[in-house]
């Protein structure tokens, strides 16, 4: 009996202690923003660690071009465990060459855990250029072929050619459009020397950068032309009066009596891609030459060289560089946004158009009217359409977005949001409005 009483007393003591022990309180989830990987021009994979702390938890990534974010991934279950686990999401429909902020947010019945802000920069996609074979080669001309993929950005191209891989001569700059697939281009080079081997390459440029094809050659027909005069004598070039978006390029040329054509080639790479207007001089003795460049990017490194040619031959100067000054980007006055819709049985066609208005007087249209806009269609807080469009050279934009009627979910009002990503001289700008469908 004593043993039984002791056992009962011990059991009661244990039960009493258990009842007195405090219950473990539920806790809000812990969220830690992680790294980013697989960054492209339009997407990225973001990672984080989420600890549900014992309660059923969901998480999502918030992201955008500022710490206001503005976009969010689909809410996903993180379970109800008591230790941290890795989570990730793919962010898509991003804008090339843009800094994005992101963070993870986890929520359960007790509260919300928010990760720290982190950033990444999407890549850019310059045009792709593939050289073709020359055709219709004569003693004074040749047709050269290439394939160019603008990769979605307004692109121009030119052919650089000359008797060496320094090239020095350049065809007129031509638009290659803004498509997303390769198309064939053809350029006729004329006023060539007979019996001469020429090197050439195709250079394509967009707001995402400059790309050049590999070197190729052709030889004109006929007897080799051999100039008998003296080549122009060119002094080393230099850059002065450098500002945030302009510079003066200087040089000196002795034409050695022959009429000599000269110009500067320049660009953000040693492919150059841009040529100043050709000018001519003649006579004996060194003559100073210079040209003013404007509409340049601030805080950028530019390559340039001086080229001169006459009937006696071609001189291609060495590569030089200069750095424009870093200037504060300015605000445009407004981003005008207009939109209207047309509905059929299966989809809604939304036409969006507008213009970047009120460039600061210090900024030329050449420098300011470029860059990308993101156009988003929202049903409440849900994104149901997203497109990117390039700003035209007159600062206008125009596009259509098609939305299936099944995605309206009965809504008759949609939000249209436009965001200009900015460029080298202008800060971003945004606008929004509501349309009825």
Residue-wise pLDDT tens for the chain (437 aa)? 445 455 555 445 444 544 444 445 678 999 999 999 999 888 899 999 999 999 999 999 999 878 888 788 888 999 999 999 999 999 987 877 788 899 999 999 999 999 999 999 888 888 999 999 998 999 999 999 999 999 888 899 999 999 999 999 999 999 999 888 999 999 999 999 999 999 999 999 987 889 999 999 999 999 988 877 788 888 889 999 999 889 999 999 999 888 999 999 999 999 998 999 999 999 888 889 999 999 888 888 999 999 999 988 899 999 999 999 887 778 888 999 999 999 988 999 999 999 999 888 778 787 788 888 989 999 887 788 888 888 888 899 999 999 988 888 888 999 999 999 888 778 889 999 999 98
pLDDT tens digits for 347-394?
999 999 999 998 887 787 877 888 889 899 998 877 888 888 888 888
Q: Which of 87, 121, 155 is the last residue of a domain?
A: 121
Distance CA(20)–CA(56), nearest Å, equals 27
- Could you list the beta-strand ranges (E) of 182-300: 183-189, 197-206, 209-212, 216-219, 233-240, 247-254, 257-267, 274-275, 279-283, 287-293
For residue 431, count other CB atoms closer than 10 A to its CB. Answer: 17
Last residue of a domain, one of 226, 249, 275: 226
130 touches 182 (CB < 8 A): yes
The structure tokens listed for 276 are: 């100043």
Q: Measure the CA dihedral 61/65/70/76, to 10°.
A: -10
CATH of residue 37:
2.60.40.10
Name the residue with tokens 């991003």.
94
Domain that holds residue 430: 334-436
The answer as to whether 163 is a domain residue is yes
Specify whether 348 is located in the same domain as 415.
Answer: yes
Determine the pLDDT at residue 103: 95
Within this chain, do residues 117 and 133 fall inside the same structural domain, yes or no? no
Residue 145 lies in a domain: yes
Q: Considering 88, 121, 154, which residue would you say is the last residue of a domain?
A: 121
86/65 same-domain check? yes
* pTM reported for the whole predicted model: 0.62
């Amino acid at each position: 009996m004593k043993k039984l009483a002791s056992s009962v007393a011990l059991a009661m003591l244990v039960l009493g202690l258990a009842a007195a022990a405090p219950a473990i309180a539920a806790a809000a989830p812990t969220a830690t923003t992680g790294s980013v990987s697989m960054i492209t021009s339009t997407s990225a994979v973001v990672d984080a660690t989420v600890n549900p702390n014992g309660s059923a938890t969901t998480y999502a990534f918030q992201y955008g071009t500022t710490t206001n974010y503005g976009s969010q991934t689909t809410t996903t279950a993180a379970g109800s465990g008591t230790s941290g686990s890795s989570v990730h999401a793919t962010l898509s429909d991003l804008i090339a060459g843009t800094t994005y902020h992101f963070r993870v947010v986890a929520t359960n019945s007790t509260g919300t855990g928010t990760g720290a802000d982190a950033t990444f920069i999407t890549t850019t996609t310059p045009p792709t250029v593939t050289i073709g074979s020359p055709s219709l080669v004569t003693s004074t001309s040749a047709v050269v072929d290439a394939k160019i993929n603008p990769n979605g950005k307004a692109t121009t191209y030119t052919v650089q050619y000359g008797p060496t891989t320094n090239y020095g001569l350049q065809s007129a700059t031509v638009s290659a459009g803004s498509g997303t697939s390769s198309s064939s281009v053809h350029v006729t080079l004329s006023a060539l020397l007979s019996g001469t081997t020429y090197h050439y390459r195709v250079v394509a440029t967009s707001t995402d950068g400059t790309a050049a094809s590999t070197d190729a050659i052709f030889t004109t027909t006929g007897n080799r032309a051999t100039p008998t005069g003296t080549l122009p004598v060119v002094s080393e070039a230099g850059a002065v009066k450098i500002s945030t978006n302009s510079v003066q390029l200087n040089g000196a040329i002795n034409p050695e009596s022959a009429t000599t054509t000269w110009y500067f080639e320049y660009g953000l790479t040693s492919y150059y891609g841009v040529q100043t207007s050709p000018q001519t001089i003649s006579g004996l003795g060194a003559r100073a030459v210079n040209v003013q460049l404007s509409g340049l990017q601030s805080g950028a490194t530019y390559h340039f060289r001086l080229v001169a040619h006459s009937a006696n031959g071609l001189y291609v100067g060495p590569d030089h560089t200069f750095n424009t000054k870093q200037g504060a980007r300015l605000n445009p006055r407004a981003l005008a946004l207009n939109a209207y819709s047309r509905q059929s049985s299966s989809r809604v066609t939304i036409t969006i158009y507008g213009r970047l208005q009120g460039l600061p007087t210090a900024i030329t249209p050449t420098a300011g009217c470029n860059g990308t806009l993101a156009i988003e269609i929202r049903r409440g807080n849900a994104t149901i359409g997203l497109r990117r469009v390039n700003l035209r050279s007159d600062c206008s934009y125009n596009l259509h977005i098609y939305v299936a009627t099944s995605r309206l979910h009965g809504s008759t009002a949609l939000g249209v949001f436009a965001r200009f990503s900015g460029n080298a001289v202008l800060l971003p700008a945004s606008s929004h409005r509501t349309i009825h469908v």
